[in-house]
A and B are shown apart, each in its own frame.
Chain A
């Protein structure tokens, strides 16, 4: 077991009196791909946002044990890619500007990032005119270019066709192989089976169980997880 690098301590999140995340406690230890799994409305995206600091917990703490004072380098890919109204290259460049002051090196890093996701030929194309699949790959390239220690992916394949899903999954695996820890949400069971090393199962804002992927899929401990795996969960 690796040492934990991200710790959720009794994290809750409420919005206008409604408790959407309920007393979440978990140590993220896997250096590979961790999948937050659960039906729609389970709180997967909110959990991911709480981890990345996009929203602050109503109670509880999110801490990064063992990290250097500046924290781990993080990146986030949104379910619907948020792309600036500029070229693909300029989108990557914008993200890099805060990390790499040298213009030439920034250009090189942007080109490398686009190449890794197969978008080098579309580098000068306005990002908004790319296909949905290409837009998601560009969003991945933009995050990957930051050379993050941890990358959060929110439903990265939610609205893609099978071919684009395959491309995106390959990129996710490549990101993981390159040494970044990956935390992603999905409600897609086959995808979770393909990618996950560790699974955290959420239901109605609570973390019901977390286990290595094989253990989770072969022998789920909770009734909810078992019925979700059999395709019978219902919110």
Chain B
């Protein structure tokens, strides 16, 4: 018990003293996961909107596939990208294995299905409402996509945060393609796994606390955004207390 308390105390002092190793790991985690969310949004937002709007052949199959990929196990994503990037793989010549770029790519693959599938849902709901107006105003397809994404912004922002939550918390994929190399590809989750197995609980705990705080922060933001996203419609939260 004392040992645990001591580990906690040291973890907190590591955070408070802004330990250099700790900071490096946290910053790399943020860089990798934020880049992955950015790339996934760049593809996933328009892709989701197009799936919602356009009746193209193969649309249903693609929609089902993307929904299924939302549950893609990170280790499997890691394994596939490992095979592609490894020396004998098709993209081996790029020498990307065990680099932050590889980690960004694998997390992009994990976040993309979430962004695309949920965007499709949001945009489809909104399009139901706007369809006749767009038809009446003869809005072009491109403008319709842009307008729907913009008008769905309050509901799409939490989608991106959900993607970020998945990216920042996963271990398996970055472990496989990143290799958890000290000062190079070590992120919070892989560091926690390693330090715990090595018995250095204080660093693992410190990182765990930061990870928890980040998750809490993300969920707070999502909650607040949902609060203001009600299009100004009155909230019924006070229903029970009013009686």
Which residues on A are within 8 Å of B, measured CB to CB? 49, 52-54, 74-76, 78, 82, 84-86, 94-95, 97-98, 126, 128-129
Contacts and interface: CB of A to CB of B under 8 A. Distances in A.
B132 A54 contact: yes
A86 B151 contact: yes
A228 to B, nearest CB: 28
15 contacts: A49-B132, A52-B136, A54-B135, A54-B136, A74-B136, A75-B136, A78-B132, A82-B129, A82-B132, A85-B151, A85-B231, A94-B147, A97-B143, A98-B143, A128-B233
A84 B139 CA distance: 13
A82 B151 contact: no
Contacts of B132: 49, 54, 76, 78, 82
A126 B133 contact: no
B136 A76 contact: yes
B130 A82 contact: yes
A95 B138 CA distance: 9
Contacts of A53: 135
B227 to A, nearest CB: 15
Contacts of A97: 143
Contact of B130 (A76, A84, A86): A84
Contacts of A86: 150-151
B137 interface: yes
B232 A126 contact: yes
B136 to A, nearest CB: 4
A151 to B, nearest CB: 11
Interface of B: 129-130, 132-133, 135-140, 143, 147, 150-151, 154, 231-233
Contact of B231 (A52, A78, A126): A126
A98 B139 contact: yes
B129 A95 contact: no
B133 A78 contact: yes
B229 to A, nearest CB: 9
A94 B136 CA distance: 12
Contacts of A94: 137, 147
Nearest to B138: A98
A96 to B, nearest CB: 9
A150 to B, nearest CB: 12
Nearest to A85: B151
A161 to B, nearest CB: 18
B231 A82 contact: no
Contacts of B150: 86
Contacts of B137: 94-95, 98
A83 to B, nearest CB: 9
Nearest to B151: A85
Instruction: Please list the 4 inter-chain residue pairs (A to B) with the smallest Cβ-Cβ separation, ordered nearest first.
Output: A129-B232, A128-B231, A82-B133, A76-B136
Contacts of A85: 151, 154, 231
Given A49-B132, A54-B132, A78-B133, 6 more contacts: A76-B132, A82-B132, A82-B133, A98-B143, A128-B232, A129-B231
A74 B140 CA distance: 17
Nearest to B148: A84
Contacts of B140: 98
A52 B136 CA distance: 8
B147 A84 contact: yes
A94 B139 CA distance: 9
Contacts of A76: 132, 136
B144 to A, nearest CB: 11
A57 B138 CA distance: 19
Nearest to B232: A129
B125 to A, nearest CB: 12
A84 B231 CA distance: 10
Contacts of A84: 130, 147, 151
